[in-house]
Structure 1
C-alpha cells in the first residue's frame, strides 16, 4: 500500500481541531453572544483545517498491492473522500451563520451518508489532526435538520459576523423583527440532541480504529 502524495499537518493543527470541537459544542450552550463569538472562531479554524484535509485527500492517489484488497474497496474509499471534499467545498462556498439552523436538503449529499463517510474515515485514520477535523465536520451536520425549509432559522435575525459598528437601536429593531425566532427555538432541542449523538458516534469510531489491526483496516478501507 502506497500513497502517491500524503497530506501532512503540523502539531498546531491537532490543537486547532480540538479547539474547534470545543467551541462548537460549548459555545452553542453558553447563551448570550458567546455562541456567535465561539462559532466565528471555530468555523474559521474548521474551514482551514478541513481545507487542508480536502486538498491532501484530493491529491492522494491510492494504489494497492495484495490479492486481499478488492478494487471495489478502493472505489468506496475514494467515493467517501470525494463526498467529504464536496462537503468542505459547500461549507466554504456557503459560510454558516452563527447559531443558525439549516435545512438538511441543502447539503451536497444526504446527511446520513455524509455522517457515515466521516465515521468510516475516523475509523480508518490514525492521524490525530484528520480525526479532529473530521469530528468537527461531523458535528456541523447537526445544524442541518429536516423540515426547516429554504430560509435558515436564526436565533436573533442578525448577521452576527457583521455586528461591529452596528447602531444598537437598529440592532434591537432587527432582533424584534426576526420572524424565525420561534421556529429556531423549536428546532434547537433537536440540534442539541443530535450534537450529543454525533459526538458519541465519532468517539466510538475513533476508539474502534484504535483497536482495529492494520491488516484489517487494509482489507476494509484499502489504506
Structure 2
C-alpha cells in the first residue's frame, strides 16, 4: 500500500471511529509523518520522496559557517594564488547578520544586516549603507528533483551613507528573482571526514532588474539547517554553533 493511501486510510478511520457525525473533521496543526518522514506538510500538501523544500536547506540557528577557496590568476605571465575565506554569521532564527571575506588573511569585504523587520532591513558594506523597504516577497514552493523553485523580492533601496557623496539619498527600485533547481540528494564530506547527511546539489540563478539588468548562475550544494556549503570554488571548512 502506498504511504499516501495509508495516511488517507488513517484519516478516514479516525473520522469514522472518533466522531459519530457526517460533518466531522480532523484539524491537524503541523506535519503528518510516518517513520519520521513528512507525508503531508503543514500546508496540506502531499510530500513525495523526491520532493524538496528549498527552505529546509537554509540555516535554522545561530552559527558561523566558514568556506574557503584558492583563487588563481596571472600577473605578468606568472600565476598568483590567493587564499580566500568567507565567514557567514547567522542569527538564532537563521537570518544572515554578517558576511566577511578575507583574502590572504586580510579583511577585503564585509556586509552586515541591521535593524531587520518584517518589511525592511539596513545593510552596511565597506563602501556604503543602504536602507531597504520590501514591497513584495514570495516563498519557494515545494518542487520535485529536477524542477525549479523560484521566489521574488521587490523593494526600494535608499543609499543613506556612501564614500561617494553624490550617491546619498539615491533610490533604486529592484525586482529580484532567485531560483534553485535541486538535482540530487547527497551526503557532503568536509574537514577531517565529517559528514552532513541531508544535502542537495542544485543550480542557483539570481536575476535582477533595476536601472541595470543582470544575472548570475552557479552550481551549489546546500545542507539542511546549514545553508550553502559549496559554490564558485568555495567549500565548507567549519561550522561553529553560537
TM-score, with structure 1 as normaliser? 0.25
Say which structure is richer in strand: 2
Larger Rg: 2
Q: Which has the higher contact order (CA 8 A, sep 6+)?
A: 1
Instruction: Identify the structure with the greater helix proportion.
Output: 1
Superposition TM-score, scaled by structure 2 size? 0.23
